[in-house]
Structure 1
Amino acid sequence: MGLSGGEACIKYLLFAFNLIFVLTGISTIVVGAIIPALYHDYRPVLQDGFFSIPYLLIAIGVIVFIVSFFGCCGAIKENHCMVMLFSVLLIIIFVMELAGGIAAYVLKDQTADSLGHQLNRTSHDFGRNQEYTTFWNVMQSELHCCGVDSYHDWMSVFHNNTLPQTCCKGNMEMNCTTASLKIYGIGCIQGLAEFLKNRAVALGASAIAIALIQVFGIILSCKLATYIRQNNYV
């Protein structure tokens, strides 16, 4: 006894869902791979958790391909065991993505005090530590800021009126000093906190959005498994 029209519709909807599922897996892998490269220069002040999330996304993306195989085969062959296995694996992925999204939202609460400590620590090694020097130059250029709270912070580092070249707008000054007319007037701590918060929120929202898509697949697979069992397609 075959599946009825409505049941067959669910079968092909589940198959179509798996195609979308594969695309979300590819997107997840791409996002997870790009994030560490994009924010590598900010590593000196980023929490380790910020970089653990991308690796979690890559792992989820790889698992998606394996899970999609069971979903497609189970739907086409109307195999109850494969559809049920697909449902269980989909629930596991849902929990993982939800955990990744929540973790990203937690990271947005990284305090200004914590960032301030990291910024002060790294600024005193400017010019002596290549990683910290690159970080400060990139941050000041991208966020249009200078120093931790203001350009005055550099005076305690250099003990004179010299400033990093990236403190001057457009890096147009031959020698950037506190007397220059085009100094970025704001400190980096506020801009960096907002920068990290926005990225963490976007990352968390993406992970949760993808997880919610999985709910649709879980419902379809559970319904199809029930129909197959009722029709003795085991």
Structure 2
Amino acid sequence: MGEGPLMRWCCRSDILMVHMVLAGLLVLAVGLWLRFDPETVELLTGDGAPDTFFIAVYILLGAGALMMIVGFFGCFGAVRESQCLLASFFACLVIIFGAEIAAGVFGFINKEQIVEEVQKFYSSSIADVTNPNGTAIALIYHKTLNCCGGSTSDASTTLCADAPEETEDCLTAITDFFNEKLHIIGYIGIGVAGVMILGMIFSMVLCCAIRNNREVI
């Protein structure tokens, strides 16, 4: 392979690596938004609040940070036409891809568990009308999700006595709210996987092109 085709592959790979860095930055930004979203933070703050949702968010943050770092290495390897760096880049992508598959399986398996944990947290908070802390947490859910009730406790009936009839129950609102967030994580994961697969393909093709070019020389 001559210098012309090799340079074209280098340029294409550089563009892909830059896109990978930008994709990592986007994933990192979305992860930070999910972690510090005021509504989510309010709903998952308090003694005994479940943290499974945040585990999925932390995995997303880790994937974004690793994508940025690995993308920089890939850019450097493509510019220097280094087989060693490109092979390392490929190996890192394989590891990250495997970790992402594991995280995806974890999220899929625990999707319903995340929602159920939050629902139980809400139900336990509203169960005892004499507990001001629990009542305060329940009121946060009512305000944040624009919902009321969903629990069979007397406290639920008391707190929702003045709520309009068309008000959605909180158990359904919790399901809708966290399913939307988890779908965002899932869609981003699919996009990241696609970018990584392209990165692995381009890095291997470029690595082979560099080797063949050196053999010709």
Normalised by the shorter chain, which TM-score bucket?
Answer: 0.7 to 0.9
Is 2:217 the partner of 1:219? no
Change (3 A) 1:133 1:208: farther
State the Cα distance separating 1:192 from its structure 2 match. Answer: 1.1
- Which amino acid in structure 1 is aligned with residue 197 of structure 2? V
Identity, in percent, stands at: 25
Change (3 A) 1:202 1:62: closer
* 2: CA distance, partners of 1:89 / 1:113: 35
Change (3 A) 1:115 1:60: closer
Question: 1:205 maps to what in 2?
Answer: 187
Question: 1:148 maps to what in 2?
Answer: 150
1:42-79 superposed Cα distances (whole Å, 9 cap, x missing partner): 22686432111222222222222321232112111111
Is 2:28 the partner of 1:29? yes
Contact 1:32 1:58 (C-alpha < 8 Å) held by counterparts: yes
- Which amino acid in structure 2 is aligned with residue 97 of structure 1? E
State the Cα distance separating 1:81 from its structure 2 match. Answer: 0.5
* 1: CA distance, partners of 2:125 / 2:89: 48
1:91-136 superposed Cα distances (whole Å, 9 cap, x missing partner): 2222223333333333332387655533321113567454x44542
Question: 1:13 maps to what in 2?
Answer: 12
* 2: CA distance, partners of 1:25 / 1:101: 17
Question: 1:190 maps to what in 2?
Answer: 172
Contact 1:41 1:134 (C-alpha < 8 Å) held by counterparts: no
Question: 1:69 maps to what in 2?
Answer: 72
* 1: CA distance, partners of 2:137 / 2:214: 63
Question: 2:41 maps to what in 1?
Answer: 40
- Which amino acid in structure 1 is aligned with residue 189 of structure 2? A
* 1: CA distance, partners of 2:207 / 2:135: 58
State the Cα distance separating 1:32 from its structure 2 match. Answer: 1.9
Question: 1:137 maps to what in 2?
Answer: 139
Contact 1:146 1:186 (C-alpha < 8 Å) held by counterparts: yes
* 1: CA distance, partners of 2:114 / 2:192: 28
- Which sections of structure 1, spanning at least 5 residues, go unmatched? 168-177
Question: 1:172 maps to what in 2?
Answer: none
* 1: CA distance, partners of 2:192 / 2:117: 31
- Which amino acid in structure 2 is aligned with residue 218 of structure 1? M
Q: Secondary structure at the match of 2:113?
A: coil
User: Larger deviation: 77-86 or 57-66?
Assistant: 57-66
Match among 81, 84, 92 for residue 78 of structure 1: 81
Instruction: Give matches, 1:104-115, under 5 Å.
Output: 104-110=107-113
Change (3 A) 1:62 1:77: same
State the Cα distance separating 1:20 from its structure 2 match. Answer: 0.8
Change (3 A) 1:157 1:227: same
What is the aligned-residue RMSD (CA, Å)? 2.9
TM-score between both structures, scaled by the size of structure 1:
0.76
- Which sections of structure 2, spanning at least 5 residues, go unmatched? none
* 2: CA distance, partners of 1:3 / 1:108: 51
Is 2:214 the partner of 1:232? yes
Change (3 A) 1:108 1:229: same
Change (3 A) 1:116 1:18: closer
- Which amino acid in structure 2 is aligned with residue 36 of structure 1? R
Change (3 A) 1:115 1:185: same
Larger Rg: 1
* 2: CA distance, partners of 1:136 / 1:192: 12
